[in-house]
Copies of this chain bind each other. A is one copy, B any other.
Amino acid sequence: MPSLEKSDLQKIVGARIQKLREERGFTQVDLAGKIEGVFDTTNVSRLESGRTNPTLYNLHRIAEALEISLSELLDISEE
């Protein structure tokens, strides 16, 4: 685990969110709609492509919408 770069970490987590979303047959708009409270679809796109560094709370809300635990969402051990 040689100390991931910030942008690489973002890309890995973003790809994981996208994969989980697609497995569930959701569009980005669907996902944003399932997230508790307000969540912009623009932000879904930016997070999935690794362009931003998401906050704990937003990761938690995304995990909830994907019906997975935060811990599982961030289990990036095999990448």
Binding site for B on A (CB under 8 A): 1, 3-4, 6, 9-10, 13, 36, 53-57, 59-60, 64, 69-72, 74-77
Q: A1-B64, A53-B56, A71-B77 are in contact. List 17 more A-B contacts (CB 8 A).
A: A3-B36, A3-B64, A9-B60, A10-B56, A10-B57, A53-B55, A55-B55, A55-B56, A56-B56, A56-B59, A56-B74, A69-B77, A70-B74, A70-B76, A71-B74, A71-B75, A74-B74
In the complex, which residue of chain B has the Cβ closest to the Cβ of A5?
A: B57
Copies per complex of this chain: 2
Q: Residues of B contacting A57 with CB < 8 Å?
A: 6, 9-10, 53
Q: Complex Cα distance A10/B4, Å?
A: 24
